[in-house]
Structure 1
Amino acid sequence: MRSQDPVTEPGTPERSRIRLPDLRRWISPVALLVLWQVASSTGLLSPDKLSSPWTVLQAGVETARSGELGQAFAVSIGRVGLGFLLGAGIAVLLGIVAGLSRWADVLIDPPVQMLRTLPFLGLIPLLILWFGIGEQPKIILVALGVAFPLYLNVHAGIRNTESQLVEATTALGYTRLERLRHVILPSAVPQALVGLRQSLGIAWLALIVGETVNADAGLGYLINNAREFLRTDVIVVGLIVYATLGLVTDALVRLLERRVLRWRTA
């Protein structure tokens, strides 16, 4: 007789596979770090050009203990947070309205596309003339960096909703609000999350530029001040913090994406 496969009893949890991190991905970063340290130790790389990894680590510990790094970190986080809320709110609102209404699309999309083609980092002199050298130009710069990618993805996600699903909701007697809530907006979420990841990446880029032009606090000010004293170690510390913040925010969006879009793999 053919042997039967063992039947899993109801309620028995399936064995989840533990995915171990691929250590091979660390080979090249570690190798570059070792080469960097060797080049600095042997004098091939001048400390005036770039400090060694060990010196950068010491500078990071020093600025953290003095509280200078923590204060700059808090200021930069606040600027990105305010700019993100402003830009994301405007982008999602305009993207939904333009995506749902043909007349709104005709009126909203052309100006947005025109502004999108402008190099928003080149608006810094104009923003300074309008708002001075305070916090407003930096926050608006971050908001502009966030708004355009998010708007484009929200707009595209709504426009690309499958027509068969919309026809099915019409046949089922859904109201316009129910169709929006149960079909159109959920269909746009994957595209919107892609735009969110792009927006956060550009937000940090906009913040770096804004803080290095005119700032009296923040990570950009820390880097600029270190440049005046040829402290390349502190400059690298600031850049590492920027990069780490970008990676952390991207990882948070990816985690949100896995949770929100769990239905796609169910």
Structure 2
Amino acid sequence: MTDTASEQLAPPLPTGPATAAATTADPGAVDRAAAGPGVAPARRRVRRLAPGRRLPYARLLGPVLLLVVWSVASAAGALDPRTLPAPWTVVHTGAHLWTAGTLRTDIGTSLWRATQGFLIGLAAGVVLALLAGLSRIGEAVIDGSVQINRAIPTLGLIPLFILWLGIGETFKVAIIAIVVYIPIYLNLYSALSGIDNRFVELGEVLGLSRLAFIRDIVIPGSLPGFFVGLRLGVTGSWLSLVVLEQINATSGLGYMMFQAQNYGQTDVIVLGLLIYGIFGFASDTVVRVLERRVLSWRRSLSN
């Protein structure tokens, strides 16, 4: 049969406003109509824009690659041991200090300082953010003061806090608490202020009480911002600790690194930095896991 005969036998495609409306609603309608009855139309390829499934232990890939590059460069002699010792040298130094007992004491002291400051900063940040985010009077009294405090370098407060609180442990914990509470307050307050006003109207229509409104709408809506501030606060506690432990301290990782600087012990300094990095990475991972469990109802690119 010729092409002309095929064209004559093929049923004409329907035209008109109804066809145009159907085509607009379903772009594959024309393909199905052209294919004829009993012929399956070609499936359109769907482009997936999401990053895909999460890879197991993916966050460890970057540190492992850095460790491999460091090891290869040290073994090849590309790194001067006096500038950056090899990884196995740092591990040997850590094992020696741990056996001697000094490293265990320094780690315990640093953990206790960071924990005290973090808990105090966490409580202060949450309370202040709730007062400022749920009350106009609280916002007027608190937010301006916190913004001024945020603009002042926290480590610049060290001399003043030494005069106020002495040069012992109290001022160290106080500085850590300030470093922690600022990001927690800022992110939680921003999350509270950013709740859609339509949810407020919905709560009023449903006749929710103030307590029920906070429990059912405010807290779930502000949790994502709270966890962002929590992660920043955990990291800030370790960042400030390395500086504070070099001021009139007799133990701690920062004190260990300061003493190693005086004696030119690069391996001990690198060991202290690695321990700080491991603690920071581990604490951030704990917060991430907690966030994923608490916000399991949320669908986002991360999950």
For residues 1-266 of structure 1, the aligned pairs below 5 Å read 19-21=55-57, 25=62, 26-39=64-77, 45-47=80-82, 49-265=83-299
Give the distance between the partners of 1:18 and 1:228, measured in 2 at CA: 45
1:113 and 1:78, CA in 2 relative to 1: closer, same or farther beyond 3 A? same
Corresponding letter in the other structure for 1:152: L
CA shift for structure 1 position 39: 3.0
Say which SS state the counterpart of residue 212 (structure 1) adopts. coil
CA shift for structure 1 position 163: 1.3
Q: Does structure 1 conserve the Cα–Cα contact (< 8 Å) formed by 2:74 and 2:85?
A: no
Moved more, 220-229 or 24-33: 24-33
1:37 and 1:131, CA in 2 relative to 1: closer, same or farther beyond 3 A? farther
Give the distance between the partners of 1:127 and 1:24, measured in 2 at CA: 41
Say which SS state the counterpart of residue 133 (structure 1) adopts. coil
Give the distance between the partners of 2:194 and 2:93, measured in 1 at CA: 50
1:20 and 1:180, CA in 2 relative to 1: closer, same or farther beyond 3 A? closer
Q: Does structure 2 conserve the Cα–Cα contact (< 8 Å) formed by 1:37 and 1:53?
A: no
Corresponding letter in the other structure for 1:71: T
Moved more, 203-212 or 21-30: 21-30
Instruction: Write out per-residue CA displacement over residues 137-166 of structure 1, whole angstroms, 9 at most, x where no aligned residue.
Output: 110111011010000011011111111111
CA shift for structure 1 position 203: 1.0
Q: Does structure 2 conserve the Cα–Cα contact (< 8 Å) formed by 1:137 and 1:210?
A: no
Corresponding letter in the other structure for 2:265: R
Give the distance between the partners of 2:145 and 2:56, measured in 1 at CA: 48
CA shift for structure 1 position 120: 0.3
Give the distance between the partners of 1:142 and 1:203, measured in 2 at CA: 6
Q: Does structure 1 conserve the Cα–Cα contact (< 8 Å) formed by 2:98 and 2:104?
A: yes
Q: TM-score, normalised by structure 2?
A: 0.77
Say which SS state the counterpart of residue 50 (structure 1) adopts. coil
Moved more, 183-192 or 162-171: 162-171
Corresponding letter in the other structure for 2:261: R
In the alignment, which residue of structure 2 is the partner of 1:5? none
Higher relative contact order (CA 8 A, sep 6+): 1
Q: Does structure 2 conserve the Cα–Cα contact (< 8 Å) formed by 1:197 and 1:253?
A: yes
RMSD value, Cα: 2.1
Taking only the aligned residue pairs, the percentage that are identical comes to: 39
Q: Does structure 1 conserve the Cα–Cα contact (< 8 Å) formed by 2:190 and 2:225?
A: yes
Say which SS state the counterpart of residue 195 (structure 2) adopts. coil
Corresponding letter in the other structure for 2:233: S
1:18 and 1:191, CA in 2 relative to 1: closer, same or farther beyond 3 A? closer
Say which SS state the counterpart of residue 178 (structure 1) adopts. helix
Gaps of 5+ in 2: 1-37, 39-52
Give the distance between the partners of 1:96 and 1:222, measured in 2 at CA: 39
Give the distance between the partners of 2:110 and 2:159, measured in 1 at CA: 20
Figure out how many residues of one structure are paired with residues of the other and give that number.
248
Gaps of 5+ in 1: 2-16
Give the distance between the partners of 1:95 and 1:24, measured in 2 at CA: 36
Instruction: Write out per-residue CA displacement over residues 27-63 of structure 1, whole angstroms, 9 at most, x where no aligned residue.
Output: 45412332134336xxx5152x332222211101101
